[in-house]
Structure 1
Amino acid sequence: MTPDELLRAYDEHLREEGELHNALSAERHGPVLWAEFPWGGFVTYRDLGGLEGAALDGLIAGTVAHFRDDTGLDRFEWKTRGHDAPADLGERLVSAGLVAEEVETVMIGEAAALATAVEVPGVVVRRAGEGGVLREDLSRMLAMQDEVFGRGRGPGVDDALDELADGNAEYWLAEVEGEVVSAGRLNVVPGTGFAGIWGGSTLPGWRGRGIYRALVAARAASALERGVRWIHSDCTAMSRPILERSGLLAVTTTTPYVWTR
């Protein structure tokens, strides 16, 4: 598939309902869906239906009012993509009080291209709960991710257990002498042939040794066993070269705009 074909598949399968499998609730408002997760609110859409100018400002204001006045959530994220219209969407979100976070690249490619075995001496890569107690594994890996990303940016242990219950998610960790040094998760999107690799994080002192690449390969191999063809990921500038060398293609960018109380 060409990058344009992959982008069309991304818009069709991995936006709206494709992002809401673990949402506590979701409500449509015009072209967007307002969703609630344990970690906060989320705004998703396939496109904005041509809204621009004052009409778009009204939608943004209504979204802010909804999460501010109708929920007890402390934050919500409006996830934009680089190919979204109109071009001034980000500026309008900032004017409404949202803050832009780091731009990431959306990468898509064949799971088989990633699923080549990577051995890193002294490092054990395994699925959480296999070779250990699931709750303890999750607690240790999520604590490590809080150290990398900042506390409160990801799920808690109970949230992760709930996510695992439907069978479409896997949590993976890499250990050195029992210490979790890298972690990430795999989320299969049912009925699409896609799975996402998310939350990839490595402690600063362990970067540049191939551990992240080994963690990606293990998740891709597991995805292949589950019948997944395509892997997608929102990646930072640090991880993009690793995925590109494995054959994944950049199809667009994504920027989260976040509102907090």
Structure 2
Amino acid sequence: MDRDDLLKVRALYDAQMRRDARPDSALARVERVGSVVRQTVPGLLGWNGVLWSELDEGNADAEIAAQIAHFGQHARTGQPAGFEWKLYDYDRPADLADRLRAAGFVPEPPETLLVARTDALAGLPVEPPEGITLRVVADEAGVDLLMEAHARAFGVERPRIREQVLTLLRERPETIEAVVAMAGDTPVSAARMEMVPGSSFAGLWGGGTAPEWRGRGIYRLLVAHRARLAARRGIPYLQVDASADSRPILERLGFQVLGTTVPYVWQV
């Protein structure tokens, strides 16, 4: 895709996945309040945060304060008080990152927003490397394997993701595809794809591989597997928030940059 094509895709992404975002679970509530679109989830494990904003120099600080006040209510009701402002490098005003830091937000490592057409990835090989089989995640036992693979790959436990995947499998199975790469009985890599009904984008998440199994094509295999699933569903684009480690691999596979996103986190 050339620059004009990418700008059109970015505008479509902003419209469908940010401004008109849908809740990521049955308990979540997405609402537009003023110039901000946010998601609020009760309980300990949901994702709370700002998905999209349309701000300027005149209203940015007031809107930031309003979101802090809203999510701060959770602290007074026994819920988590932290939330994330998902900032993109093309969001306005230009100094929004500085304003967030001044309000007490802490930036996490940046990620690159990448996109690829599913038909452009149709030719990627889908044969597992020697010693690897793929297991589709369809139940709690499969989710436990997925989480074990993530722990091996990233070195951390992620209970929020476990709860999210279980909830989607139980309540909205048509919106998720998850798979684990197994070396015998050991899960060594895992990934998932999340889809919004009617959207042009399928999001690729996870994709981590245990250190001793890296460099053997498992990551590429999981991308190819999900690309074919998306193509069968008629979804034209794949989207990834890529880490610095995964970005070069994805770009070699044909993904292109739409922008950079930084999670700005606020805690009491």
User: Considering the TM-score relative to the shorter chain, is it more than 0.5?
Assistant: yes
Cα displacement (A) at 1:177: 1.1
Cα displacement (A) at 1:193: 2.5
* Preserved CA contact (<8 Å) 1:40 1:74: no
Q: Find the aligned partners of 1:240 and 1:143 in 2 and give their Cα distance.
A: 23
- 1:67 corresponding residue in structure 2: 71
Q: Find the aligned partners of 1:153 and 1:62 in 2 and give their Cα distance.
A: 29
Q: Find the aligned partners of 2:19 and 2:160 in 1 and give their Cα distance.
A: 20
The residue identity in structure 2 corresponding to 1:42 is G
User: Which runs of at least 4 in structure 1 moved beyond 4 Å after TM superposition?
Assistant: none
- 2:92 corresponding residue in structure 1: 85
The residue identity in structure 1 corresponding to 2:167 is D
Q: Find the aligned partners of 2:72 and 2:135 in 1 and give their Cα distance.
A: 41
Q: Which TM-score applies when normalising by structure 2?
A: 0.86
- 1:28 corresponding residue in structure 2: 32
CA RMSD after TM alignment: 2.0
The residue identity in structure 2 corresponding to 1:118 is V
| C-alpha distance 259-194 of structure 1, shift in aligned 2 (>3 A) | same
Please say if 1:58 is aligned against 2:67: no
The residue identity in structure 2 corresponding to 1:7 is R
Picking from 151, 155, 161, the partner of 2:166 is 161
Cα displacement (A) at 1:143: 3.4
Percentage identity across paired residues of the two chains:
36
The residue identity in structure 1 corresponding to 2:157 is R
The residue identity in structure 1 corresponding to 2:89 is G
* Preserved CA contact (<8 Å) 2:111 2:242: yes
* Preserved CA contact (<8 Å) 2:182 2:189: yes
More displaced, 214-223 or 70-79? Answer: 70-79
Q: Find the aligned partners of 2:145 and 2:33 in 1 and give their Cα distance.
A: 39
Q: Find the aligned partners of 2:81 and 2:210 in 1 and give their Cα distance.
A: 28
Question: 5+ residue gaps in structure 2?
Answer: none
Question: 5+ residue gaps in structure 1?
Answer: none
| C-alpha distance 260-204 of structure 1, shift in aligned 2 (>3 A) | farther
Please say if 1:44 is aligned against 2:51: yes
Q: Find the aligned partners of 1:205 and 1:39 in 2 and give their Cα distance.
A: 32
Please say if 1:8 is aligned against 2:11: yes
* Preserved CA contact (<8 Å) 1:194 1:230: yes
Please say if 1:124 is aligned against 2:133: yes
* Preserved CA contact (<8 Å) 1:195 1:228: yes
Cα displacement (A) at 1:149: 5.9
* Preserved CA contact (<8 Å) 1:39 1:153: no
Q: Which TM-score applies when normalising by structure 1?
A: 0.89
Picking from 191, 194, 205, the partner of 2:212 is 205
* Preserved CA contact (<8 Å) 2:108 2:265: yes
SS at match of 1:18: coil
Picking from 121, 140, 150, the partner of 1:145 is 150
CA deviations over 1:164-187 (Å, ceiling 9, x no partner):
232111111111112111111111
| C-alpha distance 95-154 of structure 1, shift in aligned 2 (>3 A) | same
